[in-house]
Chains A and B, each alone.
Chain A
Amino acid sequence: MNALKSIKIAALALTALAATNAAQAQEKLSLYNWGDYINPEVLTRFTEETGIEVSLDTYGSNEEMLAKIQAGASGYDIVFPSVHMHDIMSQLDLLAKTDIGSSPGFDNIDPQFVRASTDPNAEYCLPYAWGNVGIVYNKNKVDELSGWADLFELAKSGEKIILLDDPRETIGIGHILNGTSVNSTDEAEVVAAANVIKDNLENVSAFSYDSIPLVQSGDVAAAHWYVGANIFVQQNPDILEYIIPEEGATMYQEDMCVLKNAPNQANAKKFMEFYLKPEIAALNVEQQMNGTPNIPAQALIPSEIADNPSIYPPADVLSKLQIFEDLGQDLKLYNREWTAIKTAQ
């Protein structure tokens, strides 16, 4: 009797819960983004304007995000894959068609940033942000640093350096120094690029994403890092400096994509359209210190960012930036060489 009663109450409570959930579902948006890759202010504004509550989860690499989405992580609406991952996800049929390319505000987007070969008309994703991967260094440890060769010279001289814990970025340095493409699938070229790193391995103290505090404290003289390092440079202009290496560098671009199984498709589209507004894109850049494909936004960005050649490089430097493509099966070559690098000491 009592048991029955409590079951009834539980059932009632459950239906009530489901009802409120349904009511609130209209008001939610769930982002799955790289760590520290969006200005929280943007999210606050969006919530103020639309009443939609935004939640944010973060990941550390494209592959991690893909693995989790594939393994069945659900509930996310929007993800921020790099261009090559955008292509992969299209092929895996993980993305929802949004027709963002035909939204009125899409005119703001510089067409050269619609890069994904699987999505030439931006029917799926919106170009979100871009940047380059260069070197951040401590000016008390080294006066002048202009490129990768300098970086390894510095390491040879006994100063410590840190490279990114990322097979493609780090082997990519080898490609750039060898003059081969960072997307090379030629086994000999990949091995040669990896050998550049192996040859300097002794002088590399770590592979890590968490190098900025160590550069700042002087424990490490220089580190391979993203353009976002400019945030820290701005805070400590006397100590830190960020450069795009003269030999060339890699660049990245992330697109904002809606997942096929997103629970809040409509809200996701709203967020994309919201982000098309120049003032919103500019607001994000102001804090992120990276590039935006939004042309009118560039006029609204504070001049110290807009005029910073390491963020918005001149055309000749820009032409030396290479962007990663999906290598398919050949990614294994890079992973193999990566393991070899890690065990070469």
Chain B
Amino acid sequence: MISSKTNVDRRRIMLLGLLVPPTLFLLVFFIVPLTIMVIYSWLEPGLYGGVVWNFYDLNYGRILGWADSRYEKFDPVYLAIFFKSVRLALTTVLICLFVCYPAAFWISKMSDTKKNLFLFLVTLPFFVSLIVRLFAWVLILRPTGFLNQALMGTGLISEPLQIIFTDTAVIIGMTYVFIPFMFLPLYASIEKLDMSLLESSSDLGATRLQTFRRVILPLTLPGIIGGSIIVFIPALGNFIVPSLLGGAKVLMIGNLIEQQFLSARNWPFGSALGMIVMAAILVLLVYYVKMMTREDRLARTPSIKEVQ
């Protein structure tokens, strides 16, 4: 008895020892900055950046509608930019999904050496600075750039396509940047997919489409959702791609936030905008977690019938 009790104690101490470092890490690198952001978003902006320690609700007022003065005026434009960003980010997610899904299937069927080669190629862009890669896209997309020259050379078009500095360029750039983030979780779930399930489905009379809808899709759904979230979140807050490939004419919520900190000297307003983005993402994540736990519960709890 005694020894088992000390055993439990020892285990508790060990657990504590194991949990303290990650807790501290989260506290220092996540909770503290987040708390600063939350607090700042309710403070008055300092004239030259920083904050004045007075409670101030007009940062949210500017975004959500109750601010009305010479300096702090409600403008629906902020929400409009937010929704535009959501639209661009969602488009990016969808394109990434459409590109990566078949690619992941294709690669998962290859021999091991080829597989490794392709997985390496997918992660290759990470070895080069993002800015450099995006400038390369400027060179590709501009009117006298590689893409237009190639298309005009083959006679497909006679006038250069106006892609650079448009929404399209931003979507191309973000798709390019985030494809690896979509690919890896998708690949992980597709690689795990048991091919005999597909045969079993077709054996039971399902057409290819039915097999896809009823077996492949639900089984790779965790990868699809995971990849989509991992792409959506940074795409929503991205400011580098719109400023380089969108020529800063395409304004996303990330640019607006960056602008508040680096040129408008309005930290609290920047924090408030950041909080709005966070709130949206939080809602999304809560929904995701809820859905996942529901699936899990379905899988684990015995139904009433069996209990009898």
The answer to whether A204 touches B266 (Cβ under 8 A) is no
How many pairs, one residue from A and one from B, have CB atoms within 8 Å of each other in the complex? 97
Which stretch in A20-28, A228-236, A335-343 binds the other chain? A335-343
- Contacting B248 at CB < 8 Å: which of A328, A331, A332, A342? A342
Cross-interface CB contact of B142 among A63, A165, A217, cutoff 8 Å: A217
Of B50, B70, B80, B263, the residue contacting A64 (CB under 8 A) is B263
**Interface with B: A99-107, A205-213, A311-319, which one?**
A205-213
Residue pair B262, A165 in contact (C-beta under 8 Å): no
Bound Cα distance A308, B296 (Å): 75
Interchain CB contact (< 8 A) of B247 among A60, A207, A340: A207
Query: Given the complex of chains A and B, what is the CA–CA distance between A166 and B259 in angstroms?
Result: 10
CA distance A97 to B121 in the complex (A): 55
A112 at the interface (CB under 8 A from B): no
CB atoms of A217 and B47 under 8 A apart: no
- Partner of B264 from the list A205, A331, A342 (CB cut-off 8 Å) is A331
Most buried by A among B48, B81, B266: B48
Of all chain A residues, the one with the shortest Cβ separation from B166 is: A205
CB pair B70–A187 under 8 Å, yes or no, is yes
Pick from A70, A165, A207, A343: contact of B49, CB under 8 Å: A70
Q: Are the C-beta atoms of B142 and A219 separated by less than 8 Å?
A: yes
Contact B262 A61 (CB under 8 A): yes
Instruction: Name the CB-closest residue of B to A167.
Output: B263
Q: Which A residues lie within 8 Å of B50 (CB)?
A: 70
Q: How far is the CB of A22 from chain B (nearest CB, A)?
A: 30
Q: A66 is contacted by which of B244, B256, B265, B266 (Cβ under 8 Å)?
A: B265
Which residues from A are CB-within-8-Å of B81? 339, 343
Interface residue total, chain B, C-beta cutoff 8 A: 36
| Residue A214 lies at the interface, judged by CB distance under 8 Å to chain B | yes
Q: Does the CB pair A206–B249 fall under 8 Å?
A: yes
Among B49, B165, B261, the residue within 8 A (CB) of A206 is: B165
> CA–CA, A343 to B47, complex, Å?
25
**CB of B71 within 8 A of chain A?**
yes
**When the two chains form their complex, are residues B249 and A339 in contact, meaning their CB atoms are under 8 A apart?**
no
CA distance A316 to B73 in the complex (A): 41
Asked if A7 is at the interface of the complex by the 8 Å CB criterion, the answer is no
Interface hits, B147-175 → A, CB 8 Å = 164-165
Shortest Cβ distance from B143 into chain A, in angstroms? 5
A88 CB-CB contact with B under 8 Å: yes
CA distance A207 to B244 in the complex (A): 9
Q: Does B75 contact A (CB under 8 A)?
A: yes
> What per-residue 1/0 map shows which CB atoms of B245-275 lie under 8 Å from chain A?
0111101000010010111111000000000
- Given the known inter-chain contacts A218-B144, A332-B266, A343-B81, please indicate yes or no for A205 contacting B247, CB distance below 8 A: yes
Asked if B248 and A92 make an inter-chain contact with CB atoms under 8 angstroms apart, the answer reads no
Q: Is A6 an interface residue (CB 8 A)?
A: no
Contact residue range for chain A?
35 or more
Instruction: Tell me, in angstroms, the Cα distance from A206 to B73 when the chains sit together.
Output: 27
In the assembled complex, A329 has its CB within 8 A of some CB on chain B: yes
Query: Closest CB of chain B to A73's CB: distance in Å?
Result: 13
Structural contact, A329 and B71, CB atoms closer than 8 A: yes
Contact (Cβ within 8 A) B263 A63: yes
The answer on a CB contact under 8 Å between A63 and B77 is: no
- 1/0 contact string of B190-208 vs chain A (CB within 8 Å): 0000000000000000000
A67 at the interface (CB under 8 A from B): yes
Q: Which residues of A contact B138 (CB under 8 A)?
A: 210, 214
For the complex, is B61 an interface residue (Cβ under 8 Å from A)?
no
Give Cα distance in the complex from A218 to B50, angstroms: 42
B243 within 8 A of A: yes
A208 with B248: in contact, given A67-B49, A339-B75, A343-B80 (CB under 8 Å)?
yes
CB neighbours of A342 from chain B (8 A) = 248-249, 251
CA distance A64 to B48 in the complex (A): 11
Alpha-carbon separation in the docked complex, A207 to B70 (Å) = 27
On whether the beta carbons of A343 and B264 are closer than 8 Å, the reply is no
- A339 is contacted by which of B165, B256, B261, B265 (Cβ under 8 Å)? B256
Evaluate contact between A208 and B247: CB separation under 8 angstroms: yes
B226 is an interface residue with CB less than 8 A from chain A: no
Shortest Cβ distance from A92 into B: residue: B48
- A194-253 at interface with B (beta carbon < 8 Å): 204-208, 210, 214, 217-219
- Find residues 101-153 in chain A having any chain B CB closer than 8 Å to their own CB: none
In the assembled complex, the CB of A172 is this many whole angstroms from the nearest CB of chain B, namely: 14
Per the 8 Å Cβ criterion, residues 46-103 of A in contact with B are 60-61, 63-64, 66-67, 70, 88, 91-92
- A61-B262, A335-B259 given; A345·B49 CB < 8 A: no
Using CB atoms and an 8 Å cutoff, list the residues of chain A in contact with chain B: 60-61, 63-64, 66-67, 70, 88, 91-92, 160, 162, 165-167, 187, 204-208, 210, 214, 217-219, 328-329, 331-333, 335-336, 338-340, 342-343, 345
20 extra interface residue pairs, beta carbon distance < 8 Å, beyond A61-B262, A205-B249: A63-B262, A63-B264, A66-B48, A70-B49, A91-B48, A204-B249, A206-B248, A208-B243, A208-B247, A210-B135, A210-B244, A214-B142, A217-B144, A335-B259, A336-B73, A338-B259, A340-B77, A342-B249, A343-B77, A345-B249
**12 interchain pairs, CB-CB under 8 A:** A63-B264, A66-B49, A66-B265, A91-B48, A160-B143, A206-B246, A206-B249, A208-B244, A208-B247, A328-B47, A331-B265, A343-B80
> Lowest 4 CB-CB distances: which A-B pairs, in order?
A206-B247, A207-B248, A342-B251, A335-B264
